[in-house]
Every structure is written in structure tokens, then in C-alpha cells.
Amino acid sequence: AASDIRVIDYSHKQLDERDVAATDLEQFLQTNPKPDWAAVRWIYVNGLNFDVVRCLGNHKSLHPLAIEDVLDIHTPTKVDWYEDHCFLELNLAKLNEGDPPGNEDSQQEKQCHHRGRWRTLVPGKFGMSVEQVSAFLTTDNTLITIFERSGNDILQPIMTRLRSSQTVVRSSNDASMLLQACIDAIVDLSLPIGKAVGEAFDDLEQDVLSRPTIGQSKQLHILRSGLTSFMENANAINILVRTLCDHGAVPGSGRSSNPSTIESLKNQAQTSIEISATTQIYLRDVQDHLTAVANNTRMSIRSAENLSSLIFNTIAASQNESVRQLTLISSFFLPLTFLTGYFGMNFDKMPIVNENSDVMF
């Protein structure tokens, strides 16, 4: 796959950004090391490309297991700490209108759909696409981010902040703060999903209350399935952010009671990667947003379950009312049925039968 590559060097006084072709990346990295004036280097890659990932791995001596995880798009959200770098893997979820497109990127989107990378929330209206984001934070204040397709949605808002020397991400001269900005942008990109789902719920709830149908239960099932996937993704990123916030804590000190976080803390003594105190403050704000998103999504899932129960209960009550009316009608005609059955055939004269006529046949 083709990759868009941009190398950004910056400090609180100066900013330099250059686009690099994938075929020229190796030569560029060899001949253009991070300048002395630059505090941070950001290597941005949009599009998975084996040669690009291999080149970056060789240039920064990245761990082979981390490189393998970058190329596997089904790697779960996690943080791995190594001696001179840390590796992060997380999912980017964003709202897409309509069904998976069938023109320009149809083959790619069909593959994403079949591999579970697309979740339809409201058929024909909007869905949720999920893609992998990989990041490496090194000891020389370099950040490498690798996106599958939607890196531009993250690059543009961050570059707007970097081009202003007054922003925290620019003035801090800290690559971990840049990493926080990327995670924050990924979380912000997922927020429209919750808003769109809320509006869909309002419309569907009115239909269910006015005229419930079995077809609505199918829509609720699709919506609930997509929301469950979205909530699991938010919870996974929440654990990742918590791990970064607790970086440097002493295991058993009481700062974290999450088993996955404690296990990660045990490996931090073997790494020289630092997450600054300022970054941790902003990461906790991201964690609050993720907690709110997860709680709202959980409430939406429960609402979907309640609406499903309401549909079946309403339909069942309607069927019971129909059965009751049929029972009353049957009870009314039961005596007549009995009398007809008892006396109806007791006639002395039946000319048609006696004459063996074929009229009745």
C-alpha cells in the first residue's frame, strides 16, 4: 500500500516539516538526522507499507516483536516497554455516513468490512470504521506514528497546534506531550459516534412507542452490536492511558489497582522512556473523556436492550388481545355450534340424498 510520510522537526522557537517519498525514506533518514536545534522529531506515516516499517525499524533499532505487531492489524490495544523505546497499539474509531463505499476504495473497504473493521450502526445512514494506529516513542525525543488510512484526520489538528508557538504541545519540547496530543485527537475523532447514535436512538424510540415492529428489533440489534464494539475500544484505550499515567510508579504503592497496569509497571524499570509530569496531567483529562464516553455508551446499550424488550412485550400484548377477542367470539358461537351439530342432521326428508343426485358433487 502507498504511504504518505512527513517528517516534522520542532522546538519552541522553530518548526520544519518535510514530505518524504516512501522510496526515499531510507536515504533521507541517513542524510538528515534530527537537527541540533530541534527538541522533537515526529515521523508521520499514513498507510501500512512493509518497506517503510522495515526501514523505520532498522533506523531506530525497534524491537522485532513490535514491528511484527505493526503489520498485524488485529493486534489488541497495548503498551510495550523496551530498553530505549516504548510501543503503543490502539484503534482509531470514526463515524462514516452511509454504508461502506462502493466506488473509489471499494476493495479496501470490503476487506475492512469482512475483517470486522466496519460496524454498521444505522443501515443506510452511518457506520463506524475501525483502524489500527501504531506509535513508537524513543529516548531521543522522537515519535513515530503509523496509521492505516485516516492519519490525515489526526495530522491536521495537531499541525495547527504545532504551527503556533504558544500551544503546550509546541512549547513543551516534549515528544510524550506530542503522543498525548495524538491520543487526544483519536479520542476526539470518536466523539461524533456517540452524538449520532443518540440522535438515532431518539428517532427509533419514537417509532417504537408509536408503532413497534419486529424490524425495529433488528435495527436495535445492529446498533447494540456496534456500540458494544465501540465501548470495548474506549475501555481498551482507557487502560492504555492509565498505564501511561502511572508510568514511573512503584508497583504495590497503591497508585494503581488495575492488574494490567501493575503488570506493565513491573516492566518499566527496564526502560529509560519518560512520560513527563505535564503529559500525565493532560493524559488524565483524556482518561476522564474516555470514562464519560464508556459510561454514555453503556447507557445507550441498556436503552437498546430496554427498547427491544418493549417491542416484544408490546407485540405479545397485542397478540394476547387478539386471542382474547377470538376466544370471546368462539365462546359466543359455541352453543350454536353444539345445537347445530346435535340437531342439524336429524331431518326426515332429504330429497337430494335419497335421489342420489350429483348436484352436490
**pLDDT tens digit sequence for 245-294:** 987 643 333 334 454 544 444 454 466 888 999 999 999 999 999 999 89
Instruction: Give pLDDT, residue 103.
Output: 41
Q: For residue 184, with 0-12 CB atoms within 10 Å meaning exposed, 13-18 middle and 19 or more buried, which class applies?
A: buried
CA distance 143 to 148: 17
Q: Is the pTM of this model over 0.75?
A: yes
Instruction: Give pLDDT, residue 106.
Output: 44
Nearest alpha-carbon partner for 290 in 244, 347, 344: 244
Instruction: Give pLDDT, residue 342.
Output: 61
Strand partners, 9: 16, 41
Residue 152 or 205, more confident: 152
Instruction: Give pLDDT, residue 240.
Output: 95
Instruction: Give pLDDT, residue 318.
Output: 77
CA distance 149 to 133: 9
Instruction: Give pLDDT, residue 355.
Output: 62
Instruction: Please provide the average confidence, as pLDDT, over all residues in the chain.
Output: 82
Q: What are the cell numbers at 80?
A: 510495550
Mean pLDDT, residues 292-306 taken together: 87
Strand partners, 144: 43, 136
Instruction: Give pLDDT, residue 45.
Output: 95
Mean pLDDT, residues 207-218 taken together: 83
- The tens digit of pLDDT for each residue in 312-325 reads 888 887 777 788 88
Instruction: Give pLDDT, residue 251.
Output: 39
Residue 124 or 91, more confident: 91
Quick one: how far is CA 48 from the chain centroid? Answer: 19
Q: What are the cell numbers at 56?
A: 523505520
Q: What are the cell numbers at 185?
A: 485527537
Residue 218 pLDDT level (bands cut at 50, 70, 90): confident
Q: What are the cell numbers at 212?
A: 413497534
Residue 24: DSSP 8-state: G
Q: H/E element holding 228?
A: helix 214-245
- The tens digit of pLDDT for each residue in 338-357 reads 767 766 655 556 565 566 65
b (16+ CB within 10 A) / e for 207-222: ebeeebeeebbebbeb
What whole-number percentage of the chain has pLDDT above 70? 81
Nearest alpha-carbon partner for 44 in 61, 63, 22, 62: 22
Strand partners, 52: none
Half-sphere exposure of 205 (CA within 13 A, CB side): 11
Instruction: Give pLDDT, residue 343.
Output: 62
Q: Which of 46-60, 96-110, 195-209, 279-293 has the lowest mean pLDDT?
A: 96-110
| Structural domains present in the chain | 4-315 (3.30.460.20)
Residue 110 or 23, more confident: 23
Instruction: Give pLDDT, residue 319.
Output: 78
Mean pLDDT, residues 22-40 taken together: 93
Residue 137 identity (one-letter amino acid): L
Strand partners, 95: 128
- The tens digit of pLDDT for each residue in 112-137 reads 443 457 777 777 678 888 999 999 99
Note whether 121 and 156 are within 8 A (CB).
no
Instruction: Give pLDDT, residue 114.
Output: 38
